Structure 1
C-alpha cells in the first residue's frame, strides 16, 4: 500500500471535499469503516483494519482523518451528502406514514440495518461520532420539513406549524423502540407513530409558541426538575 499524490499536505482531518482520486480514496475509507463497524463494532475498529481493507496507507489515514473517530465522523458526513428527498404522496397523512415506514424498513432489514445501527452504537462511545450523527439527522430532518411546509400550503396543517418538531415526533417513538426498549417495530407501529403526529398537528400541538418576557414556563418544562431530576 502506498500513499497517493493527492494526499500531500495536511488539511484538517476529514475536511476535504474534492472529486477525482481523493473522492475515491474517501469512498474506499468510508466503505472500510462501514465494514469494520458492522463486523466488529466501534471498540474493535482500528486504523490498521481500515488501512488493510481500503488500500490506503495508515500514515495517510492519520494525516487526513486523525484516527478512527475522524474516519467514522467523515463516513457519516459522506452519507449526508446523498440526494435523498422526502416522499411526496400528495397528503400529509401519506407523507408522514411513508417517512415512518422508511425508518422501520431501514432498521429492520438486516441487509440495510447493520451500518446505520453501527453508527448509532459508535455515537454512544465517541463524542466526535455523536456530533457527526447529530449533524446527519439534523440535515435529514431539515429535508423532511418540506412535507409539513407543503401541507401548510395545501391547508392541511395550521399555519406556523413547527415542521421540525413534527418530523421528529414521527421518528422519536420508533427510535425509542429500536435503540432503547429494543421492542419490535413493523409497519403498524410506523403508521401509529405517523398517525399520532398527524393528530397532534391537527390539534395545534406543534404551533410555534413565543414566550413573553417574564412569563413563567409550564410546570415540569425545565429538564432536571420534578421527577426528571429525582
Structure 2
C-alpha cells in the first residue's frame, strides 16, 4: 500500500472511532505499530488536528473532514464498477444520472487525466431487459414513501388489486421485479413488472416500522416465495 493511500485510510478510520489506540489502527491497516506512530507524527506535523500520544491513544478532533474528491485507487474502481452497473440497468433516467455523476466526480479528481473513472479493470454485464415504463414512477414512490395500488395477475392467472408499500426494485436475469409490504396479505411480497396491468401512486404516505421496513425484508430475503 502506498503511503499516501495508507495516510488517507488512517485518517478515515480515526474519523469513525473515538479514541484510537495505535495497536488497533495497526491491526486494521495491517502495518506495524511503529508505522502508525510515524504516520500520526507526520499528520500532526502537517497540521492535522490529532490529539493524544503514544501509549495513551489518539483522537481526531470533531469537525475535520477530507475533501470529497480524495479517493484511493480501490475506491475509484468501486465507483467505476457501481456506475457501470447503473448505466446498464436500462432505466433511462438512472443511466443519464450515472453519466452525469461520472463526469462530476471525474472533473473533481486530482490530475483527472491520469486516472479515469472509466478505467477500472471490471466490466458490468449488460442487461438484456429494458427497464419497464413504470420503474421510474415506482422509484419515486419508494423515495417519497408513498403507497401504490396495482392490478396484478399472479403465476396461477388470478387477478387482484393490491395496496403496497414499495421497498426495493430488482433487475434480475429473468426480468424486473419489486418487493413491497402488501397491506392485503400483511406480509412482504415480490411482484413482476410484466404482470402488472395498472400501477397508481395513491399519494398516501407510509412510515415503515421495524416489521415492515426494507431492513426487515432483507433479513428475510430468500425465504419468501414469489407471488
Common fold by TM > 0.5: no
Higher Cα Rg, which structure: 2
- Report TM bin, short chain: under 0.3
Higher helix residue share: 1
Which TM-score applies when normalising by structure 1?
A: 0.25
Relative to the length of structure 2, the TM-score reads 0.25
Which structure has more relative contact order (CA 8 Å, sep 6+)? It is 1
